[in-house]
Every structure is written in C-alpha cells, then in structure tokens.
Amino acid sequence: MGKKTKIGLAAVAVGAAAWAGSKALATPQTRPGKDVLDYGHPIVLAHRGGGAIAPENTMAAFRKSAELGVHGFEIDIRLSKNEEILVFHDEYLDRTTDGAGRVADMTLKELSEFDLGYHFVDPSGKTTYRGKGEKIVLLRDLLEAFPQMFINIDMKDSPETYEGSLIPSKLWRLIDSLGVHDRVVVTSFYDEQIDRFNLYAQNRVAIGAGENEVKKAYTAFNSQFGHLYNPRADVFQIPVRSSMFRLDLPRFIAFLANLNIPVHYWTIDDPEVMKGLLAAGAQGIITGRPDLAVALISEMEDQTQ
C-alpha cells in the first residue's frame, strides 16, 4: 500500500470517527412549539396582501384576500420619518404610487397623500384602482382590522440605517401593546434584525429565518453533520431556489420538519408549482394570487375526504 493511500485511508478513518463521535454526543435541538404555527394543515398567506389581485399592501388587497379565505398575510414593514411603522415593501415610492422619494425621508402625513393604486394593473389587464383612495397602511391599523389573521412581518429597513436601528424595538412594543404575540411571525433578510427583535421579545414571538440562517441550515442538511444543526428560527420562508441550490427538496423540508420547523415558500403564483410544493411537505404557500391558492387547497382537501 502506497504512502498516499495510507494517508487517505487515515483521513477517512479520522473523519468517520469524528462523525460517529459527534452523532453519539449531539442531541438535535428541536424548536419549541409556537401557537401561531400550530395550524395542522397547509396555509395560504397573501403576499403583500395579494398584490396580483389588488394594489399591494393596501386595505383593498387585504380585504379581498380575507374574503377569499386566506389564513393570513405576508407583509413588509418600514419606518417613516416620524417613526410610524408602515406596511410597505420598497425603499422608494416610485414603483407603486404616483409619487417619488425615499419612504424613510417622509412623514406619515406626506406619505398619505400618495395614491397606492396608481400603477396597479389587475389580472384582466385593466387598471382598476387609480383614484380609488387606496392609501398607505399603518401596521397597527392592519393588526386591528384583521384580528383573526396570521401575519408574517418582514422588517425591510437595513440595520445599518437610522430607521433600521429603531424598528426592532418599535415593532416589539407595538406587538406587546396590542397583545398579538400569538398571531404574528417576525422575520427579515437581515439575521441581525431578527436577533435585535428577539432581544426584546425573548422568544415570546415566533421568528423566521434570515438569509444566513437559511444558508446554515442548508449547509448542515447537505453535509454529514446535520445532527449538529441547532436552529434559531421557528419557521422558514424561502424561495424554491437560492442561487444554484434547490430549497424545495422533500428531504430538506423533512429535515426542518424533524426540528419542528414548518416551511413556507414564496412567491408562488402557479397552481402546479403550489401542488408540487404541498406534495413535498410545504406547510405554507405565500402568493400574490390567493384566489388560485385557496381554490387549490380547498380542492385538495375535498379529494382527501
């Protein structure tokens, strides 16, 4: 046996011993259950209120989706200049309103002057909401208007900005003051923002996974050391693909499910894709077409009865 072969075999043996030792010593840490995630069946979350059927993040969209029978909303929040928490996705107004400018540079009064239905085109190809009075929505108003709804809240402001430094504490105070701890999930692409929020919440509110947490989970799943992964999130809201990696693999969904972590996929508007994800084990569909998603899940439930 050559020297290189001996070294290779020794390395394999050391790796196998390390794996066996870690497997014997490690106890996978499942996430404790959260009431908001104890739904027992796949759910439909209207993306930005259902942004393909009515102007995104408007009361028109939220009302329409609620009437369709969605289980909740997936929304984004930002802070205004006078530190009001707004239901809004973009950093700038240009794409969704008749105005322009950065959201954080304007007061609520200034932002309320813009028409959020200005650019909207519905699935039929006709603009139907311009001039209909759809204005920017406060998170407080949304939470109070739909007390029965699951609401997934995504903090969009970067932690490096002034508004981003404030929003985790302000969001926690609002949730706590309204007593809605058990019907919201708080998340962000920025893991740092989630950590900041949880410093206040102390695990009293369900939290989602930031980009780094998703990468960490997928790396663990794809290695021989998945048993060493200790999750820091209660739910994963993810796309079906990230860069070159597929995140919709049934084994990945099962890996997270074994840790008591449901997976919701965004933004899924194709019924066939929805069907495939649900068959793979997904517990939530985040969609701009809640009309299609609710109909599909209802049909699937009828077929199983």
Amino acid residing at 175: I
Cα angle: 259, vertex 256, 235; to 5 degrees: 90
Active site residues: 47, 89
CB under 8 Å, gap of 24 or more: what pairs does 108-111 form?
A: 108/80, 108/82, 108/84, 108/136, 108/138, 110/81, 111/80, 111/86, 111/136
Amino acid residing at 168: P
Helix axes 211-221, 191-201, angle to 10 degrees: 100
In whole angstroms, what is the distance from residue 294 CA to residue 50 CA? 12
In whole angstroms, what is the distance from residue 222 CA to residue 70 CA? 34
Of 212, 208, 101, 96, the closest CA to residue 155 belongs to 208
